[in-house]
Structure 1
């Protein structure tokens, strides 16, 4: 079973996407910002995919978090989301999903990555 780290500061959005992913069979870990997400990644070895918003409070935003994950945890798949335009540059092999999104579309995108389907 694949484990997804959802990083989103908006509680309602975080809870909705976490619920959709759990219903789809993923194990979900949530973080309220990038600093919290880094602490989780440092403590756990079972994170398969990072699903992060770009805009959030804390010392770094979701794009910088994604870059850090690509550097420090290269096997972790990355999906970035935002209500704004797609950033010009995102980490290699990462996907971008615009907000608002449907949870089922996020699940479909996650399953396109190697070892993320069950």
Structure 2
């Protein structure tokens, strides 16, 4: 969060789920950005220096899935917080970068926004 509210990038290939996640992010008081796959997410991260948290799905089309994307983000933009969700896979948090949170779909919106608040409150 630079000035004002935290910025959350939602990465989800399903339009309806992405719209729902964006609504969730905005209702929690955060600015929401959208990407339909990892490639678009990386382009957005490269063009903006104000993204505080990435909320990504695991399974998506493109050059990398959400797990690879989360590791890429952790390596390239270490301060960015990460939340990973999946309807098809249950992941051990050990397969994700340190400090990430995992949620199985369908997820509880309150659990997601609580996790966002906790992650965004942590010092880098």
TM bracket, shorter-chain basis: over 0.9
Partner in structure 2 of residue 27 of structure 1? 31
Count of residues paired in the alignment: 116
Cα distance in structure 2, aligned partners of 1:23 and 1:111: 12
Cα distance in structure 2, aligned partners of 1:36 and 1:44: 12
Partner in structure 1 of residue 57 of structure 2? 53
Cα distance in structure 1, aligned partners of 2:31 and 2:49: 13
Partner in structure 2 of residue 11 of structure 1? 15
CA deviation after TM superposition for structure 1 residue 113, in Å: 1.3
Long gaps (5+) in structure 1 = none
SS class of match (1:113): helix
Of structures 1 and 2, the one with the larger relative CO (CA 8 A, separation 6+) is: 1
Partner in structure 2 of residue 89 of structure 1? 95
Match of 1:76 among 58, 77, 80: 80
* Residue-by-residue CA offset, 1:34-70 (whole Å, 9 max, x unaligned): 0000000000001000100010000111111000100
Cα distance in structure 1, aligned partners of 2:109 and 2:16: 13
What's the TM-score once normalised by structure 2's chain length? 0.89
CA deviation after TM superposition for structure 1 residue 21, in Å: 1.1
What's the TM-score once normalised by structure 1's chain length? 0.93
Cα distance in structure 2, aligned partners of 1:68 and 1:10: 22
The Cα RMSD (Å) is 1.2
CA deviation after TM superposition for structure 1 residue 82, in Å: 0.5
Long gaps (5+) in structure 2 = none
1:65 has 2:66 as partner: no
